[in-house]
Amino acid sequence: MILDRTNAPLIKDAVDFDIQIKPYQLYTLDNGVKVYAFEGGAQEVMLLDLVFSAGNSYETKNWVAPATNYLLKNGTSNKSAFEVNDAFEFYGAFLNRSCYNETATISLHCLTKHFTKVIPVVSEILVDAVFPENEIAIYQQNQIQQLTLNLKKGDFIANRFIDEYLFGIDHPYGKYSSETAYNQLTRDDLTSFYNKYYKEGECTVFMAGKFPSNIESILNQYIGSLPLNKNVIEKPVHPIIAATQKKYSVVNDPSSVQGAIRIARHFPNRHHPDFAGAQVLNNIFGGFFGSRLMSNIREDKGYTYGIHSYLQNHIQQSAWLVSTDAGKDVCRATIDEVYKEMAILRTDLVDKDELNLVKNYMLGSLLGDLDGPFQIIGRWKSYILNGLTEEYFYNTIETVRAIQPKQVQELANKYLQEDDFYELVVY
Amino acid sequence: MIQFDRFQLENGLKVLVHQDLTTPMAVVNILYNVGAKDEHPNKTGFAHLFEHLMFGGSVNIPDYDEPLQRAGGENNAYTTNDLTNYYCQLPAENIETAFWLESDRMLSLAFSPKSLEVQRKVVCEEFKEHYINKPYGDAWHKMRTLAYTKHPYRWMTIGASLEHVEQATMEDVKDFFFQFYRPNNAILVVTGNVKTEEVKLLAEKWFGPIPAGKPYQRNLPVEPKQEKNRSIDVRADVPMDMLMMTWHMGGRFDENYHATDLLTEVLGGGASSRLYEQLIKVRQLFSSISCFHFGTIDPGLFVITGKLVKGISMSVAEKAVLEEVEKMKHEILDEKEVQKVINKTESMICFEDMSIMNRAQSLAFYELIGDAALMNEELEKYQAVTPQKIQTTAKTIFEDTNRNTLYYYSKNRA
């Protein structure tokens, strides 16, 4: 029999997959800290993620939150920065810190067999970080140099400015670093932020992988005994002050051969009923390799190496962005094509076949994204921090499965209106 | 320990299968034994441009991505100096879609002129985005041509110049395809929720009928031993000075390979490494510094590169790096420091092996260099490295005549 290569093999539609999110286990430590845990995986490794209400929403002076987070592991009363780092690295463990808008995290990745060797050092950092003056000075010097370098890059500038236009320079989502901000940091700023938001702060733990058998008692000993969650942390309210001017063109480097393009509008947060449907529309528009923006602007015209649209991952309020770097001579043409694609989505019903492809792609990737213990706890973490439950997970899947071309078009008419978008090109 | 089964089709295609029943997904990975090092010196960047063309439709299927996405799958590819690798992940129940797509583009591409025209432009934009429109973007081009005089590692995968990419013709594309993209020059690895028997049937069905090509005899010029220290000065509109040093090292089969890898960790792996502690923290000469090696199959480069703190002179910075390097030749590391880098390597291997995607890529790579089972012997090889071995390795590599230096100066310097 001759093999027929022109017809695709039969597939099971991803919309017909039974997609489940496996449940977490929840413990509460002696000090009230909640631990969300997912045990599993083939490798003897684990992840411990400590999430503090210590994002830049809580700082009263620019860059104190990220600097405190970064310098947490640069020394305690008993250990120099080198000794703290060595204590983790000797056991092949990685301690990463990240500062976001609402939260700031300390993440430990390690081999399960070494967890008991490194968790005491995590504990030590949480009660006794001392922020030595010379460590702060080195941080300031090197961050300023890094910033000077980044400011040469159009895409870096574009990311800063578009957030500023959307949210305002004083809003946690809109502000950014500067040489002045780095220079004005003092040891007092960092220690008082640390005392309030880490040492006696609000903490939630997420954990995944293979655990040692007595994990609960280990956590109680090293995390459950700390003075965490004692005070109620007041959630600051930051008004959004968006720019009135909508279109910008900035020359950063006259010799640049490309322009960094950002096109953005406000969008509600994940609790809004349109959020899940908008994700379907976003995928059709510019959310994956097969999207209309990619097909038109990269695969048909070759204006760019890549173009993407996405919804920002913010808790208070999101934004819908289109982002690309395009050849200098084709920036205007690229922007025109983006608006053209918006217009087509508003006027023409999306083809059933295309919509079905996007649904399958979204649900297939969701299945892949839930593969592995770190991925599963990562998704739970995102839901819990956004105040969502598993209902959101199943509702989203249901929305993706059920949405029809008509609803996609309605969403396009509601949200993909050229006049609502900020537009920026940095050359 | 990663278990796998292995078989070969009559046309020479090697197939490896690794089962993991804990996942609902499957990965189909195809590695072609062709990289930028196989390019003609006047047609560089071709292997990578070709990778883009592999998504421009095949003889029976107008579009590669669409049917895969419809089956709930995702894919990507990369080109290195040594190899080109294509991978896709999809729900295991739809795995046949991947066999259908991958086998058709191995059978023959559509060779569409439009695809060539567009992808030439896309790659030119990629070139601009990463190598022109970026501070220090040309540093690696310059370092490679300085360090290599004969071996094709002297150009980057993106190509030596935009012109080479712009001049690629359809005839070049066809020749390249039928020379390298044949079953006997490829390794197929399937991982995830699959059975070997099922993979065997699918492989026979879809890949079996593809004719073998003429075996490719790789015959690359060997880089002669460097006899003299080489350096160049660059001045550009960058905010700070950068120092980049490289030394020639052995290839993937060199007996010092694992010791070399650990040596980079001792010097530059993490915030408790020597260069970080001494040069960033204690002496404050650099604002950032890193140490790594190429990890290439043929003899590669050992690299130390960093940006200088404003006001520090290049010669002071260079001397300080060389002092640290000299210590490695004259001191025997204590057991604890060696244990640290071995522990770190063990940890990195375990984290890497978590996903079926990484397992597939590692199996393919180790099969390419001789035997996929080598993947399971790596940790032991690292554990066998002694402090003495690291010292002998350092002595071999850190010869002054073996060194290449790029002094990258800021034009704006007062």
Across the range B67-94, mean pLDDT stands at 95
The confidence score (pLDDT) of residue A357 equals: 92
Under 8 Å between Cβ of B145 and B153: no
Same domain, B104 and B189: yes
The confidence score (pLDDT) of residue A313 equals: 87
Residue B395: pLDDT over 90: yes
Q: Which residues make beta-bridge pairs with A47?
A: A109, A208
Across the range A106-130, mean pLDDT stands at 97
Both tokens assigned to B150 = 């004969």
Q: Is the dihedral of CA B124, B129, B133, B137 positive or negative?
A: negative
Closest CA in chain B for residue A360:
B72
**pLDDT band per the 50, 70, 90 thresholds, residue A73:** very high
Instruction: Name the domain boundary from B150, B171, B206.
Output: B206
Computed over every residue of chain B, the mean pLDDT equals 95
Please name the residues in contact with B59: beta carbons below 8 A apart, sequence gap of 6 or more. A5, B104, B107, B108, B109, B110
Same domain, B336 and B243: yes
Across the range A229-249, mean pLDDT stands at 92
Across the range A54-79, mean pLDDT stands at 97
Q: CA angle, corner A88, sides to B381 and A377, nearest 5?
A: 95
Q: What is the pLDDT of residues A167-203, one digit of tens each?
A: 999 999 999 999 999 999 999 999 999 999 999 999 9
Task: Assess if residue B275 is contained within a domain.
Answer: yes
As for the ipTM of the complex, it is: 0.91
Task: Assess if residue B154 is contained within a domain.
Answer: yes
- B75, B90, B272, best to mutate vs chain A, most A CBs in 10 Å: B272
Q: What is the pLDDT of residues B129-148, one digit of tens each?
A: 888 878 899 999 999 999 99
The model's pTM: 0.93
Q: What is the pLDDT of residues A264-273, one digit of tens each?
A: 999 999 999 9
Query: Which residues on B lie below 8 Å from A138 (Cβ)?
Result: 280-281, 284
Task: Assess if residue B219 is contained within a domain.
Answer: no
Same domain, B302 and B236: yes
- A299, A301, A358, A363, best to mutate vs chain B, most B CBs in 10 Å: A299
Task: Assess if residue B295 is contained within a domain.
Answer: yes
Q: CA angle, corner A184, sides to A180 and A186, nearest 5?
A: 155
Task: Assess if residue B156 is contained within a domain.
Answer: yes
Residue A151: pLDDT over 90: yes
Task: Assess if residue B216 is contained within a domain.
Answer: no
**pLDDT band per the 50, 70, 90 thresholds, residue B124:** confident
- Give the closest residue to A22 by CA, choosing from A402, A393, A279: A393
Measured between alpha carbons, how far is residue B236 from residues A150, B88, B241 in Å?
Answer: 16, 41, 9
Same domain, B45 and B183: yes
- Quote the number of domains for chain B: 2
Measured between alpha carbons, how far is residue A102 from residues A173, A192, A316, A376 in Å?
Answer: 10, 18, 9, 22
- Determine the topology of domain A247-426 in CATH: Cytochrome Bc1 Complex; Chain A, domain 1 (3.30.830)
Please name the residues in contact with B368: beta carbons below 8 A apart, sequence gap of 6 or more. B31, B33, B83, B187
The confidence score (pLDDT) of residue A369 equals: 86
Question: Cβ B122–A298 below 8 Å, yes or no?
Answer: yes
Same domain, B182 and B234: no
Longest Cα pair distance anywhere in chain B, in angstroms?
69
The confidence score (pLDDT) of residue B157 equals: 95
- Determine the topology of domain A25-222 in CATH: Cytochrome Bc1 Complex; Chain A, domain 1 (3.30.830)
The confidence score (pLDDT) of residue B414 equals: 42
Same domain, B198 and B234: no
Q: What is the pLDDT of residues A241-289, one digit of tens each?
A: 999 999 999 999 888 889 999 999 999 999 999 999 999 999 999 999 8
Query: Which residues on B lie below 8 Å from A290 (Cβ)?
Result: 65-66, 69
Q: What is the pLDDT of residues B12-39, one digit of tens each?
A: 999 999 999 989 999 999 999 999 999 9
Query: Quick one: three-class SS letters along B175-194?
Result: HHHHHHCCHHHEEEEEEECC
Query: Which residues on B lie below 8 Å from A301 (Cβ)?
Result: 118, 121
**pLDDT band per the 50, 70, 90 thresholds, residue A1:** low
Residue B412: pLDDT over 80: no
Residue B413: pLDDT over 70: no
Point out the least confidently predicted range of A89-98, A361-370, B174-183, B267-276. Answer: A361-370
Instruction: Give how far the C-alpha of residue B4 lies from the chain's centroid of Cα atoms, to the nearest Å.
Output: 24
Under 8 Å between Cβ of B85 and B48: no
- B60, B123, B129, best to mutate vs chain A, most A CBs in 10 Å: B129
Across the range B157-164, mean pLDDT stands at 91
Tell me the residue range of the domain where B260 lies: 230-410
Under 8 Å between Cβ of B403 and B343: no
Closest CA in chain A for residue B91:
A364
Question: Cβ A305–B343 below 8 Å, yes or no?
Answer: no
Please name the residues in contact with A232: beta carbons below 8 A apart, sequence gap of 6 or more. none
Give dist(CA B133, CA A389) in Å, integer.
Answer: 44
Query: Which residues on B lie below 8 Å from A298 (Cβ)?
Result: 118, 122
Give dist(CA B226, CA B233) in Å, integer.
Answer: 19
**Structural element, H or E, at residue B248:** strand B242-248
Residue A424: pLDDT over 60: yes
Chain A nearest C-alpha distance from B309 (Å): 8
Q: What is the pLDDT of residues B228-274, one digit of tens each?
A: 999 999 999 899 999 999 999 999 999 999 999 999 999 999 999 99
Query: Which residues on A lie below 8 Å from B89 (Cβ)?
Result: 368
Q: By CB neighbour count within 10 A (0-12 exposed, 13-18 middle, 19+ buried), where does B400 fall?
A: exposed
Q: Among B60, B123, B350, whose Cβ lies nearest the Cβ of A43?
A: B350
CATH code, domain carrying B268: 3.30.830.10
Q: CA angle, corner B68, sides to B64 and B71, nearest 5?
A: 155
Task: Assess if residue B67 is contained within a domain.
Answer: yes
Q: Which residue ranges does chain A devote to CATH 3.30.830.10?
A: 25-222, 247-426
